[in-house]
Structure 1
């Protein structure tokens, strides 16, 4: 491949990376909020959020992308392609992240809570200084795995015309009639994006151990 092809691939990789990164950041935060709300077990809200999680986890990502982008005009809303892609990816990953957070909170040792209350800590102080930091560390491997799954599923956004890494690869293959080089290059770029998430996870874990 020539330099122009590599330039297009890097542009596609950048599009994949930043859309995935924004969706991941939103998904982690929203997933945490939903997990905490569900732990409160407010009857109607708990059931409503549980239904959302079940639907979002069961719906193919490409279907979710198409639904959000194409249903907008029905309600008089013309969504930008990038916004629609971020919304779809965020809705998908939030559902998985919420269950990861909820599982971590449910498995947290109650002994630490009793000890914190015994020394006079308020529930908020206990949550902020003891429960949340430890839950973040224990949840990190699963959260990073979910991040990698989202990046792998991100080619779904190409169906609404976003020129991501996969779409660029297809375009180059169509022009050169030699699909193997761009596919191999795209695979390496996807690996680089995903490995960066695992690198962040590893550095955080080492820092916690130190």
Structure 2
């Protein structure tokens, strides 16, 4: 395996990280918004969100990706491989994040929210200062787990031509007739990416623990 092959896998790593981070950055707040809609029991809208989340959680990412890539052009909305990949990742992870956030919201003591409402605190301030800090702590393990899973499912993006780590390794192995070295390198590249997310999770949890101890 040549240095050009190594660079190709590293370029695939950049693609993997970029698409994963975009999916996380958009899907995380979107999932929170969906969870709040269900938690608030908004008539009609909450039911629509529930159906959306159920469908997306039941749909394999590769199926969703192919549907977006091939069906949207029929509706006059052509998407390239990268935009289709980002949209599929966002829709998928937002649905799973919604359930993580909603579980934390279901366990949140509404008495605190109602007490703040009774003293005249605006709704947005109540949510930002009382609800969000508590549900964020409770949701951390589930959210970081979903982030790690999102990175590990990015190889399915290859079905529409996105060259990620795995797609680059497959191509190099096919061209060189030596599949083992590129796949070993792919594993070596994936590992520190996932470990970095685990380390970030532990750092955030330690920070929250120090804040609670100082309070």
**Scaled by the length of structure 2, what TM-score is found?**
0.91
In the alignment, the residues of structure 2 paired with residue 40 and residue 200 of structure 1 have an alpha-carbon distance, to the nearest angstrom, of: 31
Residue by residue, what CA displacement relative to the aligned partner does 1:88-111 show, whole Å, maximum 9, x if unpaired? 111111100001101101101345
State the number of aligned residues.
Answer: 210
Secondary structure class of the residue paired with 2:22: helix
Q: Distance in 2 between matches of 1:27 and 1:114?
A: 29
Gaps of 5+ in 2: 211-215
Q: Matched residues in 2 for 1:161 and 1:118: separation? A: 55
The alignment status of 1:154 with 2:149, answered yes or no, reads no
Quote the residue 2:98 is aligned against: 98
Question: 2: CA distance between counterparts of 1:122 and 1:63?
Answer: 42
Q: Which residue of 2 aligns with 1:125?
A: 125
Partner of 1:43: helix, strand, or coil?
coil
Q: 1:138 to 1:178 in 2, by over 3 A?
A: same
Specify the alignment match of 1:177 in structure 2.
177
Which sections of structure 1, spanning at least 5 residues, go unmatched?
Answer: none
Deviation at 1:112, TM superposition (A): 3.6
How far residue 205 of structure 1 moved from its aligned partner, in angstroms, is 1.3
C-alpha distance in structure 2 between counterparts of 1:71 and 1:113, whole Å: 43
Match of 2:213 in 1: none
Measured after TM superposition, the shift of residue 121 of structure 1 is 4.1
Task: Determine the structure 2 residue equivalent to 1:15.
Answer: 15
The alpha-carbon deviation at position 113 of structure 1 amounts to: 3.6
**Which range is displaced more, 115-124 or 158-167?**
115-124
Provide the rounded CA distance (Å) in 2 between the counterparts of 1:74 and 1:123. Answer: 42
1:32 aligns with 2:32: yes
Structure-1 separation of matches of 2:116 and 2:156: 46
